[in-house]
Structure 1
Amino acid sequence: MAPFESDDSVSAADAEELRSARRRKAARYLVPATVVGVAAATIGLVPALADSGDPDLPKISAQELIEKIATSDVQQLSGTVKITTDLGLPDLGGLEKSLGSGAGSSSGDGSSADPSTKLTELASGTHTLRVAADGEDKQKVSLLEDAAEYSLIHNGKDVWGYDSGSNSVFHTTVEKGDGQQEEVPATPKDFAEDALKAVDKTTSVTVDGTAQVAGRDAYRLVIKPKDEGTTVGRITVAVDAKTGLPLKFTLTPASGGAAVVDAGFTQVTFAKPAASTFDFTPPKGAKVTEEDAPKASEHSDSDGKDLPKDLPKLPGGASGEAEDFKGLDVIGDGWDSIATFDTGGQGIPSGSEAGGGDFGGFLDSLGDKVSGKFGEGTVFKTRLINALITDDGKVYVGAVTKDALVKAADAGK
C-alpha cells in the first residue's frame, strides 16, 4: 500500500520509512479517468446516507481502514443500487435526434445490447440498478428503465447482454485470467481500489467519522489531493464496518458543487444469490449478436510490451487498444500529472469547419480554442477530465485545468 498522510499519530520516521518502501510513480490522470470509465461502462452504486444518525463505532486509523478494504473478501452479494453522474457535459439538443439516438436504438451493425454501448447511459443523470455476485465468475447487473430493462450477465465463460426494449442479445466469451473480465460489471470496491492507487505523498488520507449506508454501519474514508492544479477536490468512501467492503463512493470536484460521481448501495445482502440468477437463454425471436473474444495481442503495443493496466476508457466504454495509445507518456506525477500521446492525425475542426448545424454547434459547445508555443488546438472540458487536442493531432489529457494543459503542450514543443 502506498504511503499517505492522515490525522493518525504516526512518527515522521515511520512515515518516511513507509514512503521509501512503497513510493511508486503515480499517473494521477488515470484514477479519475478510470472512475469515469467505470461509471460509463460498468456498475455505479449510490444512496444518500440514512437518517438514523451516525453509528458509534470503535476508533480506527486511516491505515487500518485501508488495510480493511484491501483484505475484504466479499464473494456473494445482491442488492439495489443507484448512480448519479454529473460530468457537466453539454446538452446534445437537436443533435441526439439528428443522429437517431434513443432508447433501444443501435447504429450501424452494432447491437443495442452491447454493454460498451448500452451502459454509457450511466455517464449522466441518475439511474437505478439491481446487482448480484457469486464469486469471480458470476455477476449480474440490470439497468432499470421506465418501460424496459437492460441486463448484463457473466456466468463462467459466457457474457450476455440483453435489451428487452429492442429484444436484442449480445454474447461473447472470456477466459479466466485473460483480463477480459474488465468489461464485466464492477463493485464499489473497484472504485475505491482505483482511488487508493492515487495515495502517496501528494495525498492526504483521513477517517472522517461514521455513517449508515443501506442500513449498514460504515466508516468514512476521505482522500484529498494536495496538488493545486488538479480538478479533483476530494473522494469519500463509506466502508462497511464489518466486511470492509466499500458501500458508497463520492468524487467531488475542486470547483465545488454536486459530486461528479456519487455511487453506492441503497439495499444490500451478503447471502448467496440463487444459481438461477445468472442463467440466461436468448428469448424467442431475439436478435443475437456474437462477438469474438479479443486476442491477448490486442492488449500489447507494437513492440510487444504490455499496455498500462488502467488505461482510461475510450468513448463507448472499451479500454484503449494499442493503436489508440501509441507512444503514451505521462508528464509529471501526482494528481496533476498529464497523459500525452500522438494520434498521428489532425485536430478537431470548429463547428463552422464541420458544416455548422446541430453537429457544428455541438462541437463548438464542447471545447475552447487555445493557442501557445505549441500552435493551436481545442480544449475539451468536463467537471473532472480536461483534454487538449492540438491541430497537429497531439493529445494532452488529465484531471487538471485548461492552463495546465496548455503549459504542458508548450513544454513539449
Structure 2
Amino acid sequence: MAPYESDDSTTGATGTTAGEADDLRSGRRTAARYVVPVAVVGVAAATIGLVPALASSGDPDLPKITAQQLIDKIAQSHVEQLSGTVKITTDLGLPDLGGLESGLLSGATGSPGDGSSADPSAKLTELASGTHTLRVATDGPDRQKLSLLESAAEYSVIHDGKDVWGYDSKSNEVYHSTADDSAAKGDSREEPPVQATPKGLTEEALKSVDATTSVTVDGTMQVAGRDAYKLLVKPKQSGSTVGTISVAVDAKTGLPLKFTLTPAGGGAAVVDAGFTRISFAKPVASTFDFTPPKGAKVTEGDDHGQGRENKKSRDGSAKGDKGDKGAQGLEGFPGLSGLAGSEGSGDSKVIGEGWTSIAAFDSGGKSGLPTGSADGAAGAAGDLGGFLGSLGDKVTGKFGSGTVFSTRLVNALITDNGKVYVGAVTKGALVKAADADH
C-alpha cells in the first residue's frame, strides 16, 4: 500500500508552518518507523474470537468497524511523514531515590558502563517515571527525530540515513552510531528507540495479542483534533498486572494517536502517551540536520551499541577502544533487556504463556542479593544488598526463600540461590513459577 497522502490538518487553527518545522528541528527525532509488522494481523486473525464489537456510540460519529478491521487498519497504516508533540506520563510506582532509579534502570538496560549521557539507551530511561514532553518528526523510514524537552535543556535523537545521533544539550555530549549495518543483520540496537510514541507502544502491545486476549472496539474519541476509534485490549488470564490497554486509532490514517495502560490493581494509568498536536505535512529537510557543536564530547558507538569516547573535540574521524560486551537482553520482554546478566550467567527461559509469561534465568550468583562482609568492596556490596532488600518483600516457597521487588506493572523475584523470575504478573504468580521451576 502506498504511503498515505500528507494531510495539513493540525490541532491548532492553522497548519504547520516552516517556522514550526524549524522549531521541531531543536527537538529529538522520533525513532518510530510507524509501521506495525503485517504478521501481527495474521496472529490476531488466527487467535482472537472477534465478535462485531462496533463503534456505534460516542462522539465523533464514525462508520461502524470491528476490532479485527481496526487491527488491520493499524497494520496497514503507512504514515511516513508527520510532526507533532507527544505528552507521556509514566507511573510505575518506583520509590523516590533522588535520581538513583534512573541509574539503576540505565544499568539494567545494558547501557555502557563508561557511557555518554547522550547515549539513547541510557538517557531515555528518564521516561520510566514522571511526565515528559516529546517533539517528534519523521520523513520516511530513514529520517526521524525525537526530542525530550527539559527545563533549560533538551535531549535529541536524530536518525538520518546511516547515522544515528544523540545530543544532550545540558552536558554538551554527543553519541554517534550507525543504523544500516545492524539493521541489515536484523539487529535493532543501533536504531533509535521507538517505545515512547503511541505507535511504538501499540506495536509492542499488539505483539502480546493471542488467544489469551480480549480485543474490542470501545466507541470513539478525539485526540489532537483528530477523529479516532478506541481499541480496548484486555488479558483474559488472571495473575497479570495488566488491566486494560486503550489505543486511540486515527480514523483516517490508522495511526495510533494515544496509548493508555491501566494496571489490574486500579488507580492512575501506568503509561499514558498521546499526541497533543500532530500534522501529516512533510517536515522541512533541515529538521534532520545535525552537526556536533564545537567542543562537544563525542562518543562513537561500535556495532554492539557500546560506546567509545572520541578524545578529540570533534572531527568525526577519531576512534577509541571498544567497550566490553553488554548483557544480553530478554527477547519478548520490552524494557527488560540486560536483566539476564553478563556473560557467564545461566540461560534464560520463559515460563507460562500470554500475559502471564515469566522470564526466568540464573543471575550467575549463588547467594541472591549481596550479603554483608567485614570491609572493603564486599562490605559495600553488603550495604547495597541490605538497601535493596529493604525495598522488597521476603517470600518463601518450595524453591526456598527470596525477595520480590514490585512496581505497579513489572515484578521480579530474586531467590536466595541467585535465580531471577520477572514478569508483568502478581507476586503470587512469581512464587508459583519459582516453585514449579524448583
TM normalised by structure 2 equals 0.74
Equivalent-residue separation in structure 2 for 1:288 and 1:282 (angstroms): 8
Equivalent-residue separation in structure 2 for 1:6 and 1:325 (angstroms): 42
Q: Partner letter of residue 83 of structure 1?
A: I
Tell me which residue corresponds to 1:310.
332
Does structure 2 conserve the Cα–Cα contact (< 8 Å) formed by 1:95 and 1:362? no
Q: Partner letter of residue 185 of structure 1?
A: P
Q: RMSD of the TM alignment (CA)?
A: 3.2
Q: Cα deviation per residue 1:322-373 (whole Å; 9 max; x = unaligned)? A: 8488522111212112121112213113799966999567513431121111
Structure 1 residues 401, 121: closer, same or farther in 2, change over 3 A?
same
2:75 pairs with 1:70: yes
Structure 1 residues 115, 98: closer, same or farther in 2, change over 3 A?
closer
Does structure 2 conserve the Cα–Cα contact (< 8 Å) formed by 1:249 and 1:261? yes
Tell me which residue corresponds to 2:347.
327
Identity value in percent: 70
Stretch moving more, 122-131 or 348-357 = 348-357
Equivalent-residue separation in structure 1 for 2:82 and 2:353 (angstroms): 37
Does structure 2 conserve the Cα–Cα contact (< 8 Å) formed by 1:94 and 1:358? no
Higher relative contact order at CA 8 Å, sep ≥6: structure 1 or structure 2? 1
2:177 pairs with 1:188: no
Structure 2 counterpart SS, 1:335? helix
Tell me which residue corresponds to 2:14.
none
Structure 2 counterpart SS, 1:8? coil
Q: Partner letter of residue 185 of structure 2?
A: D
Does structure 2 conserve the Cα–Cα contact (< 8 Å) formed by 1:385 and 1:398? yes
Superposed counterparts of 1:310-389, under 5 Å: 310-314=332-336, 323=343, 326-346=346-366, 347-349=368-370, 362-389=387-414
2:300 to 290, 301, 305: 290
Equivalent-residue separation in structure 1 for 2:365 and 2:236 (angstroms): 36
Tell me which residue corresponds to 1:243.
253
2:428 to 403, 406, 410: 403
Does structure 2 conserve the Cα–Cα contact (< 8 Å) formed by 1:213 and 1:238? yes
Equivalent-residue separation in structure 1 for 2:121 and 2:207 (angstroms): 25
Tell me which residue corresponds to 1:17.
none
TM normalised by structure 1 equals 0.78
Tell me which residue corresponds to 1:164.
169
Stretch moving more, 317-326 or 72-81 = 317-326
Kindly state the Cα deviation for residue 54 of structure 1 after the two structures are TM-superposed: 2.3
Structure 2 counterpart SS, 1:209? strand
Instruction: Kindly tell me the number of residue pairs found equivalent between the two proteins.
Output: 357
Equivalent-residue separation in structure 2 for 1:59 and 1:123 (angstroms): 36
Tell me which residue corresponds to 1:178.
185
Does structure 2 conserve the Cα–Cα contact (< 8 Å) formed by 1:174 and 1:293? no
Equivalent-residue separation in structure 1 for 2:300 and 2:428 (angstroms): 45
1:8 to 46, 52, 66: 52
Kindly state the Cα deviation for residue 287 of structure 1 after the two structures are TM-superposed: 0.9
Stretch moving more, 112-121 or 89-98 = 89-98
Structure 1 residues 342, 386: closer, same or farther in 2, change over 3 A?
same
Mind listing any 5+ residue stretches in structure 1 that lack a counterpart?
11-52, 302-306
Tell me which residue corresponds to 1:46.
none
Q: Cα deviation per residue 1:100-147 (whole Å; 9 max; x = unaligned)? A: x9xxxx996321111111111100000001101111111101110011
Q: Cα deviation per residue 1:255-288 (whole Å; 9 max; x = unaligned)? A: 0000111011111111111111111101011111
Q: Partner letter of residue 289 of structure 1?
A: T
Structure 2 counterpart SS, 1:66? helix
Tell me which residue corresponds to 2:131.
126
Equivalent-residue separation in structure 1 for 2:360 and 2:210 (angstroms): 22
2:207 to 192, 197, 206: 197
